[in-house]
Structure 1
Amino acid sequence: MGFKKMKKAYNASAKIMEKRMEKERPEDFQILKKVSKSSIVIVKGTYDKVELVLDLINIPYLLIDSNQFNQIELNPNQILIINCPGNGMEESLTKIKDFVKQGGFLFTTDWALSTILEQIFPDFLKYNQRPTQDDCVAVEIVDKNNKFLEGIFKADEKPIWWLESSSYPIQILDPKKVQILVKSEEMKQKYGQDPIVITFNYGDGGTVLHMTSHYYLQRSELRTNRHMKSAADYAMEEMAFSKEEVMEIEKELNGVSLGEAESAYSTTQFLGNVIIEQQKKVNKRLTKKKSVENKESK
């Protein structure tokens, strides 16, 4: 399955996410719609392009080259996304660490495990030196109560996650601090480690989120009869859409399998959840700050 096929799956997943959130999580959906361009800073990557997913769900962002990073000012209310590979940022590591320490949200993918996270947080995690093949593995949620994962999987199935050739498996060094959100037993059997998505807190309310492989999945794999069903089946059977609701997005769903839609939807909804939860944290932070200022002014 090529890039064009998954692009169609992402278009379908964006429509599914939009309609589902409007119906089931209207307040969260409004938070997502109000995100400003300055809230998200993305460092361009050679191999990953998280910004493509944001484009599909109409979330604005500031896109910069790595050599522009030290020229911009960050504030702890922002989300900083560093696409794989994260090269050319050796002189920016202290700035990134300070950003997280002061309460910022750092989101990295694949090789940034080695180029960014391992350099800044050497006692937390590292690359296990066993790169993957161009492969697909079944994944499962570890913490179903985590807000980042809300609404991602309806069925007790294991979606298929694409591993780019030479993706970097995550070895956790401090399991008390680093939390696994999504894992894969298949990944562990093949490449020695099972974490797919991890997170940890740092400093004064800062958060780090990292995932193996690329966020914008360029292919999936249809392993079961369920995967070979249609995206329309996925919307009706597992997302509780009515026939009328499916008809409204029929154009986007046509030609997309359930397996493709599920893989694309899981990443799209996950990113939406991350942005929503960070915006909620920022709103609480600003409300608290304003309350303190009001008390001090009296």
Structure 2
Amino acid sequence: MRLTCLVLALALCPAGAAEKTLAALKQDLRKALASGDARLLGQACAALRTLGGSEAAGVLLEQVEKAPAQSETYWLLIDGAASFGDESALTAVGRFVVERGKSPAARDVLFALERNRLSTKSAALIPIMDECAGELALGAVRQLGEVRVPEVVDALIARLARTKDSDGELRRYLAGALANITGEHFGTSIVNWEGWWKGHRGRELTGRKARERTTGTARDEVDAIRDEQIIGIEKLSPRRIVVIKGKCVDWERFDHNFDHIEHMLEQMDFPHTVITKEDFEAGFALAESMVVCINCMMWRPHCVCPDCKPGEDAGNRLHRCTGCNRHDVREYKFSGAAVERLKRFVEAGGFLFTEDWVLEELLERAWPELVGSGPKLPEKNVKALPAPGKAGHRYLEGVFRPPQDIVVTGKHRPKGRTVVRPPEEDVRAYFSRAAHTWKIDNESPAIVVKKKSEVELLLTSPDLARIARGNDALAVTFRPGKGPRKGAVLHILSHFGKQTSQDSEYGIQNMLLGFLIDANAQRGRVLPPARKGPEAEEKGTKEEPEEAPEEAPEEEPEEEPEE
């Protein structure tokens, strides 16, 4: 029996790793880093992972802090550190995040843990949930909601018991995680959760089944916790989400819109109102609106004469007129008054989603101190990576998630230090999931971030930096204004329906989805009412969640968005 176990252990280790000490593996790692060879680095990370233990994890975590941010080396080390399977190593990983929580590396390690599909990762996540605050705690809770073992339910209930009523978002995340693991719905009632769990701790944790959808969008693949956050959006009044599109005098010949966000919202089954730029200029009121989305559209002077024929390329996605001396030149640019109205809408609590050319037409005019437009870019596919420390940002939720067909259960708990993984699950495979390829349209303006202290980079591209004078931003967000109810702007350098893969297309869709979830949470969110607790269940009066009402009750902002 001992010989059989030894042979099995050797077979599961990378070549030569079984007889190597930690010191030898550290030397291999240093050589791989010096060579710049990603294949060798992946092998070194895998060998340390197979050895296991807190010291092996510490070797990788030490190098994480030294690696150049946004490099492939950085992500290989991040994912290598997060891919350990033994509790000793994962405890060390958790301490790294807790003690360095404000650093980008710590936040990215937490994000990378999401791709570790072993239940032992709870050894890292529970301390993060218990000792950290803000997005770190929420990220840990979200991941724990997929680990179906009793110890995790114990920890989630204990954490819920320590929360205050003012910790509304954390309490909702904890309730969602518990519901996802157990399939039960007691909301944020600690009395009901404790009472039910006391009598059911020994039962199998089958999890909650997400609502089935066939929208053909990223919404079909959201996890059950995020699905809970969507409740209420599909029941909102259409005036809550407004899309501004371009209008032309001749719709049959010209479509001024380079994208149609309204089509994506319709496909996602979210009610919305579509207006033209002309409608907005005429005074369309935004007092009932929480989100405004603006299509990328033609706003520069151009000819709409029916007799003119397009000739050579004139730049700015236009062609020179030929075959006619008569011209009918139109310009559909936001007026200064319209720019000011949209600015006031955001600074009073509204949310604004924009793309591509809207950077020039609106954003750099409304907030010139924050963002600007850079050089025009050629049509190109570029690698998209999360900005350092932003992989777990709420607007990137779901963008870089692993496939959800693997369920984390107690059955995957490894025995000893050896972790069994199929060949494709090596560290390099992890890195490939931390990147997408995004399509940039011809003559899109590069995003120039002028005030990095107030503008968050969400997605960056090393490919873009090389052709855009160092401007590498693919997506940015900022919250302008001075009041307590500041809204948000999310701008992306791409279009829906233009990506080369479903992963990349769903990535953009998930950003819009995360933005809508945040807007709904900030300006009024509806959760299904919790059913009665164990006492009611015993009496046969079990209540099921009800449909969310049409309008989410919201606290009135100090200043209403501009009408």
* TM-score normalised by length of structure 1: 0.73
SS of residue matched to 1:267: helix
Note the C-alpha offset of 1:19.
3.8
CA 1:261–1:14 in structure 2 vs 1: closer, same or farther (change >3 Å)? farther
Hey, what does 1:94 align to over in structure 2?
340
Contact kept? 2:239, 2:289, Cα under 8 Å: no
CA 1:170–1:117 in structure 2 vs 1: closer, same or farther (change >3 Å)? same
Correspondent of 1:78 among 290, 293, 306? 290
Rounded to whole Å, the distance in 1 between the matches of 2:524 and 2:225 is 22
Hey, what does 1:30 align to over in structure 2?
231
* TM-score normalised by length of structure 2: 0.40
Letter in 2 for 1:153: F
Note the C-alpha offset of 1:34.
2.4
Contact kept? 1:182, 1:197, Cα under 8 Å: yes
Rounded to whole Å, the distance in 2 between the matches of 1:62 and 1:120 is 23
Note the C-alpha offset of 1:21.
2.8
Hey, what does 1:176 align to over in structure 2?
453
Hey, what does 2:488 align to over in structure 1?
207
Hey, what does 2:263 align to over in structure 1?
52
Contact kept? 2:239, 2:288, Cα under 8 Å: no
Hey, what does 1:69 align to over in structure 2?
280
SS of residue matched to 2:458: strand
1:277 matches 2:518? yes
Q: How many residues are paired up?
A: 239
Correspondent of 2:349 among 89, 103, 111? 103
Where in structure 2 are the equivalents of 1:1-298 lying within 5 Å?
14-15=215-216, 17-21=218-222, 23-45=224-246, 46-70=257-281, 71-75=283-287, 77-85=289-297, 87=299, 88-90=333-335, 91-128=337-374, 130-142=375-387, 143-155=390-402, 156=431, 157=433, 158-192=435-469, 193-203=471-481, 204=483, 205-214=486-495, 216-220=496-500, 260-283=501-524, 287-289=554-556
Contact kept? 1:40, 1:61, Cα under 8 Å: yes
Contact kept? 2:354, 2:492, Cα under 8 Å: yes
Contact kept? 2:460, 2:472, Cα under 8 Å: yes
- Structure 1 residue ranges without an equivalent (≥5): 1-11, 221-259, 293-298
**Segment drifting more, 159-168 vs 260-269:** 260-269
Letter in 2 for 1:25: R
Hey, what does 2:53 align to over in structure 1?
none
SS of residue matched to 1:63: strand
Rounded to whole Å, the distance in 2 between the matches of 1:272 and 1:135 is 25
Rounded to whole Å, the distance in 1 between the matches of 2:272 and 2:515 is 14
Contact kept? 2:244, 2:274, Cα under 8 Å: yes
Give the 4+ runs in structure 1 shifted more than 6 A.
none
Hey, what does 2:200 align to over in structure 1?
none
Rounded to whole Å, the distance in 2 between the matches of 1:76 and 1:173 is 32
Hey, what does 1:247 align to over in structure 2?
none
Contact kept? 2:352, 2:489, Cα under 8 Å: yes
Contact kept? 1:135, 1:162, Cα under 8 Å: yes
SS of residue matched to 1:202: coil
**Segment drifting more, 88-97 vs 150-159:** 150-159
Rounded to whole Å, the distance in 2 between the matches of 1:14 and 1:152 is 18
Encode CA deviations 1:155-194: one digit per residue, 9 max, x unaligned. Answer: 4431111101101100111111111011111111122210
Encode CA deviations 1:67-109: one digit per residue, 9 max, x unaligned. Answer: 1103211127511111113732124111111111211111111
Rounded to whole Å, the distance in 2 between the matches of 1:84 and 1:268 is 16
Rounded to whole Å, the distance in 2 between the matches of 1:74 and 1:16 is 28
- Report which of the two structures shows the higher radius of gyration computed on alpha carbons: 2
Rounded to whole Å, the distance in 2 between the matches of 1:52 and 1:16 is 11
Note the C-alpha offset of 1:33.
2.5
Rounded to whole Å, the distance in 2 between the matches of 1:59 and 1:219 is 22
SS of residue matched to 1:165: coil
Rounded to whole Å, the distance in 1 between the matches of 2:391 and 2:232 is 22
SS of residue matched to 2:504: helix
Contact kept? 1:108, 1:210, Cα under 8 Å: yes
Identity of aligned residues (%): 24
Note the C-alpha offset of 1:219.
4.0
Structure with bigger RCO (C-alpha 8 Å, 6+ apart): 1
Rounded to whole Å, the distance in 2 between the matches of 1:283 and 1:127 is 34
CA 1:69–1:178 in structure 2 vs 1: closer, same or farther (change >3 Å)? same
**Root mean square deviation of aligned Cα:** 2.4
Letter in 1 for 2:503: E
Encode CA deviations 1:120-149: one digit per residue, 9 max, x unaligned. Answer: 111111011x11111111101121221111
